[in-house]
Amino acid sequence: MISGNKSKTWLTTTWLSALALLAPVLVMLLAGVGAPADLFVHLWQTVLPDYIINTLLLGVLVVALSLCFGVPAAIIVSQTNVWGQKYLRWLLLLPLAMPAYLVAYLYTDLFDYAGPVQRFLRASFGWSSPADYWFFDLRTLPGAALILSLVLFPYVYMLARTAFEQQDQNLLRASRLLGLSARRTFFKVALPLARPAIAVAASLILMETLADFATVQYFAVNTLTTAIYDTWLGYGDLTSANALASVLMLFILFTVVAEQKSRAGQRHQSNRPNKRNEVMVLSRWQQLAAGSFCWLLVAAGFVLPLTLLLQMALEYSDAGQLVRLMDTGKNSLEVAVYAASLTVLLALLFGLYRRLHQDKFAHVPQMVSGFGYAIPGTVIAMAMLATFGPLDHWLNDMAEMLGLEAPGLILSGSIFVIVFAFIVRFAAIANGTIASGIGQIPHSLDLAPASLGAGLQKMLFKVHLPLLKPSLLVAWLLVFVEAMKELPAVLLLRPFNFETLSTQVYQLISDEMLEQGALGAILIVLFGLLPVIWLNRTKPY
């Protein structure tokens, strides 16, 4: 479809970019080769099977719960006449701005034996010890799954809602003309059409869960990620840790392939999106139930944790703290903006390449560049140092050879490495979102401009990009919010005197002093909110 020199440049850029994103992953895999077998035998005989079972259980539970939260929410908001729809549309996105470890901390504080809820119960019923009554324990595997789903379900909600709203109205209308009710049309036509987007969201959530460390550690749930940390930091064996991370990679590879297979052969296209489709009219009781469901999700995933934070901040913070936090906030914003913008650009490159180069391997750059997502941030960070460290050394040696002053560690010792780590870590989010957006553009539109004599560039800028705008925005927003929250990679890679909001808050949490970090935590959430609100105000076309 595309020919000549332009094609070659495009081909090279795409493959080199994908390779660059894959490089740290490859370095990690190679570093795991030759791990001492006796340590593995020991781990296998003692704790590893339990870790693996926990990992699988947690993944399945989080995905299942997120689907149960996100899909109905998307249906209710986009397909029904529920009250408060206008607000719920964007309110349901907000939990995404909450770091999971923060919610975990706040909720344990609330529901612990010494927390206000149980204190109230004891005072009301005259109980005096834990033996007097049963109360759920949040610090368990199901508890961790619940907390993770509460903040991750907006992925499902957002991608599913976008899919519903961009569906080809002709298909839905045809279904109505053939005599199906609005409700049956939705379940027979619209929902199956949205499946690819929902699958993308589910795989993102699974990967996010596999890579989580702070939440599961806080809840004392030992997973494969725990094992990676144990072998690396406890046994001091980075080689074995890398080998274990490679096992984790197998899980991811399986997910990615399964997700792609599930979409194979499906072509979803639409040329008349965004005209509002007919809604399912709910009775008053149905409205009440559906509305409560959505408002409850907003309350549990966002309003309650934010209220708790505000309360702490009011009690423990002063104006001076806010001023000090501004610098830290600027650092967070800076890396998040760079990371989001670059990640989206690359994802667009991979997505369009796959669409317009229809050869057997065109999907490979998009696929391999997303592998970093499920690797725990700490392991990515180590891989980044292993990748850029030698490059820095080479640069310094070259400089010395040429008689110049050695520049020092300009790659591995600056924010470059943090931004790069974020791109590697979050490319999958942007890839998935943009791929699903590209999937909605009818293939006929690829051919039309050419038949009218328009060049590649014109086609992209006049046809594809305008149609992709909503997906691009969603992708940017998702990466931005994730980057604001990201913790382990920054903890390891930051240069001197460089703190982000998340590192600062985490340090205080890890010392049981969230009160002092509450203001910083609120800033993380607020910065995460800004793009959500802005996105909501932007009309898609």
Partner 1 sequence: MFKNTLKRISLLLVAAMPLVAGAAGEVNVYSYRQPFLVEPLFNKFTEQTGVKVNVVFAKKGMAERLAREGKHSPADVLLTTDISRLIELQDKQLLQPVDSKALQAAIPARYRASDDTWYGLTTRVRNIYSAKRLGEVDFTYEELADPKWKGKICTRSGKHPYNVALVAAMVAEHGEADTLTWLQGVKANLARKPQGNDRGQVQAIHQGLCDIALGNSYYFGKMLKNDKQKVWADAVNINFPNQKNRGAHVNISGVAMAKYAPHAKNAKALMEFLASDQAQAMYAETNMEYPVRAGVKVSELVSSWGEFKADHLPLETIAANRKTALVLLDKVQFDL
Where do contacts with partner 1 occur on this chain (CB under 8 A)? 42-43, 46-47, 50, 112-114, 129-130, 139, 218-220, 222, 229-230, 232-236, 238, 334, 338, 341-342, 345, 378, 381-382, 385-386, 389, 392-393, 396, 406-410, 412-416, 419, 488, 491-492, 494-499, 503, 507, 510-513, 515
DSSP conformational letter for 131: G
CA-wise closest residue to 293 among 70, 466, 19: 70
Smallest gap, in angstroms, from Cβ of residue 142 to partner 1?
14
CB of 420 to partner 1, least distance (A): 10
Minimum CB separation of residue 36 from partner 1 in Å reads 12
What are the angstrom distances between the C-alpha of 181 and each of 83, 176, 193, 269?
22, 6, 17, 23
What are the structure tokens assigned to 356, written together?
Answer: 């317009």
Closest CA to 427 of 522, 532, 344: 344
**Two tokens, residue 56:** 């699988």
In three-state secondary structure terms, 92 is coil
d(CA 288, CA 510): 41
Q: Which residues contact 513 (CB under 8 A, 6 or more apart)?
A: none
CA distances from 262 to 3, 180, 265, 303 (A): 31, 26, 9, 36
- CB of 108 or CB of 269, closer to partner 1: 108
Q: How far apart are CB 45 and partner 1 at their closest, in Å?
A: 8
Three-state SS string over 318-347 comes to: CHHHHHHHHHHHHHHHHHHHHHHHHHHHHH
Nearer to partner 1, 36 or 192 (CB): 36
Taking a C-beta distance cutoff of 8 angstroms, is the pair 92, 77 a contact? Answer: yes
Q: Least Å distance between CB 478 and partner 1?
A: 18
Nearer to partner 1, 354 or 494 (CB): 494
Cα 242 from Cα 248, distance rounded (Å) = 10
Identify any residues that bridge with 280 across adjacent strands, giving them in sequence order: 80
For 397, residues 6+ apart whose C-beta sits below 8 A from its C-beta are none
Taking the complex as a whole, the smallest distance from the CB of residue 505 to partner 1 amounts, in Å, to 13
Q: Report the residue number, 370 or 413, with the smaller CB distance to partner 1.
A: 413
Q: Which residue type occupies 530?
A: L
For residue 94, the cross-strand partners are none
Strand locations in 52-185, DSSP E? none
Minimum distance, C-beta of residue 428 to partner 1, in the bound complex (Å): 21
CB of 415 to partner 1, least distance (A): 6
Cβ closest to partner 1, residue 43 vs residue 211: 43
The answer to whether 282 and 453 are in contact (CB under 8 A) is: no
Distance of closest approach, residue 389 Cβ to partner 1, in angstroms: 4
Helix, strand, or coil (residue 235): coil
Nearer Cβ to partner 1, position 269 or 396? 396
Number of C-beta neighbours around residue 514 at 10 A: 22
Give me the least distance between CB of 514 and partner 1, in Å please. 10
- The dihedrals phi and psi of 280, each to the nearest 5 degrees, come to -85, 125
Residue 88 or 346 with smaller CB distance to partner 1: 346
The answer to whether the Cα torsion of 380, 15, 366, 56 is positive or negative is negative
- Is 53 within 8 Å of 225 (Cβ atoms)? no
- Residue with Cβ nearer partner 1 (327 or 511): 511
Q: Are 332 and 527 within 8 A, CB to CB?
A: yes
Amino acid letter, residue 296? L
> C-beta of 287: minimal distance to partner 1 in Å?
42
For partner 1, the closer of residues 141 and 478 by Cβ is 141
**Shortest approach of partner 1 to residue 15 CB, angstroms?**
18
Buried-state track 399-428, b at ≥16 Cβ within 10 A, e below 16:
eeeeeeeeeebebbbbbbbbbbbbbbbbbb
